[in-house]
Chain A
């Protein structure tokens, strides 16, 4: 393979495209007269440029794509228009706008504070658990959902273990020291067990204190 001189190798494209200083181009021209290897490289690269240019024509974008873009531009108009209005409001009359925004922040802050407190009380009472015992089949919750409903989600890489009772209720099992065996042993799936522990009835979670096979 012919060698290309280091001093011009990175400038060949610029020489061909006439993107370098005339003085530099002159130097390269003179070099090419003395160096057949570089001259060959330059002519080969010229051919490549011509070929790519010749074959690299445009593919028309489909009517479907055009329509989709037009549709999305028109829809984003609403959002953009709203932002502009907001900005205009600020520019025209900054004081009331700022005051109203501050007022809104203060109001919403207070509102969320009280709402949150109230909500917290309610949630904590709901989360109270009862001690209890349930019996059923160890199942994978994801598999069950996919089987029983038209749920559209991707299955976890591992099974998410739960307990399906005779009354049809499914309980999620909280991972703890006591329940670890249920999760780690794949042979547990579809076995019938009795679980004893804290039952969070609202959320259908059980914190296992003891379990046994039936």
Chain B
């Protein structure tokens, strides 16, 4: 019986051709998730190995980038999220849409790990710091949408949430971001007349 299954060697070549072009995107996202270079490198390695192991499950013709990002985020949640120091998690669906005092306090108390050079290279300092204040669920949607330019449908598949949730999280995340950035701008004196923001 003739069999034209690709040899393991061919399969690896095939995988590398699909996956390696996304290495920088995966690494950058890993860096933003773990906030730490060593953890990010471990995470990317694990994600690649897992993706390769499940390469059979990838359906040709579908979006490979979304597929490998799903593996990256799952690996992160399973293995690394516990390790990364985080502020106490609140139930994000119940987070008040409006910028609360508690949120501000929590953000200020939070020790941020963006002192490593390669990580601060990612963003302008303020945007970087503001994004860091977001909880993982909020940060993830912003990264996937505004940096990696995935569609809502793809983000929903990557994170395993409904599209409606992606949309509401993104709205809330951007709302928080603009509040944070406004605080920075005010501190730096860029916004000189904050009368419209005062209650």
Contacts and interface: CB of A to CB of B under 8 A. Distances in A.
B152 A14 contact: yes
Interface residues of B, number: 58
Given A44-B178, A48-B174, A56-B122, A65 B44 contact: yes
B123 A80 contact: no
A52 B31 CA distance: 16
A30 B122 CA distance: 38
Q: Is the interface of B mostly helix, strand, loop or mixed?
A: helix
B31 A59 contact: yes
Interface in B179-198: 181, 196-198
Contacts of A138: none
A81 B68 CA distance: 22
Interface stretch (A70-78, A156-164, A182-190, A204-212): A70-78
Interface stretch (B45-53, B73-81, B104-112): B45-53
B79 to A, nearest CB: 16
A59 B121 contact: yes
B27 A61 contact: yes
A14 to B, nearest CB: 4
Interface stretch (A5-13, A113-121, A171-179): A5-13
Nearest to B148: A56
Q: Is the interface of A mostly helix, strand, loop or mixed?
A: helix
Contacts of B66: none
A77 B127 contact: no
A48 B123 contact: no
B175 to A, nearest CB: 7
A76 B53 contact: yes
Interface of A: 1-4, 9-14, 17, 19-20, 41, 44-45, 47-49, 51-53, 55-62, 65-66, 68-70, 72-74, 76-77, 80-81, 84, 88, 92
Given A52-B147, A59-B31, A60-B27, 5 more contacts: A1-B199, A3-B98, A13-B145, A45-B175, A57-B28
